[in-house]
Structure 1
């Protein structure tokens, strides 16, 4: 779908695998491939450009409780998808996140190697609540936004996983105003993008201009949001001159123009569509194969 006087476009794609068609969830995109999963514990890599896809089993939990002491009150599932350039391998990450104590979570991590065609468990980690359901792939690493609850409020940071060495790290988010906030992450043109959603009807969009350099966080725009918004903004794409922003707001897509402050909701879905929740991801067309040779 094209936008009038815009450099951005939106396309709709049908899922070629019937087993994923209704319950598919997008786990990320990389090098022109989109990763999806379903309720039937199946993962698929899809190239929308060529129509080729690869289906393989999802990871099941094979451990009691949290795996490292302490009882598990509940388990939350988080995913990530990216490319390990050092081994020329695509990897899917699945995190089993167990509530441990006082808002701390114990995370068990499984990694699927497309080259090895198998899952393996790697060293886990402890964290606050991983609010990002899907990791953002930038600079060879996956990124999840995490919050730590304290009596004085919430503290936010980014948890990272380097896919080559399978090592965890942390990145600080930029400072933000007082009041209730909720961070979401995105990637645009190879840059890590953070969106600070305030309880009031506004959101600040930031970009990390030099990866790993926390002082390079730069605020691009403050967006005034519709009064009737019911969800947090997820940044999908930022135009090169930073005058257009493609955003996901719950089940809607929207185009924000920073030149005049206009906010346009995009009618991408027909009324007859069946979906539990609208999903979107950005990708660049390529001939990349979802199979390892």
Structure 2
């Protein structure tokens, strides 16, 4: 019985880790650093699979009004910034370092809600998001392979993630409806951006373009991204928000711990301390949400 209750969380963790690894493989090992094409492909496949799944009745996507879709477009723009900046950053940074910077988005979300709603916050939550921010700010100072471009894109990524999370918590659209609009908007925007950014012509000279490793890696990353979406929605539907946070934390720990076995990473004592402090901050954040769940 406990295993059955844990199954959605375990499936989510598996898809989370494998999805990150497949993206990292295409971006870093194969060096396909053309995010307008890579993310455009992923969002196109994700949108197509979501549409087909909805038509077949495998997932439920309710009809939503045009005004609801239009009101979600600012969030979709942040979503594009999230995946574009995330691709750029992940191609240059190790997965554990990327996750530390990603965790700093919690501070952005916390700050926006604090300024807008002016609600009282527990000292535990304030301390936890502060630890996440300090860990992210300290990391580039001690990174032995400091890449200014990677960290710059990571900053864009976590600001977009933090802002996007605010829209998520205040929207009446379901997660699948939000993602469906995101997919449509992303495909259109990234398709138009492929030429001005130069990605379209640069990709034509990509050495692995006709390689089965490249095609299998891109197909796997797109499919795994869609399966991760379904696993996330399933997890949220069967567990309270605070319990979902615990599974997300576990998935990040697994991805960070397993990534050195798959990809090259250089860690020193200070960066290891940043990793541990970020993990501590996120664990404390999950605990603060369990004892005082947000409305």
Q: TM-score when scaled to structure 1?
A: 0.25
Q: Which structure has the higher relative contact order (CA within 8 Å, separation 6+)?
A: 2
Indicate the structure with greater strand content. Answer: 1
Q: TM-score when scaled to structure 2?
A: 0.25
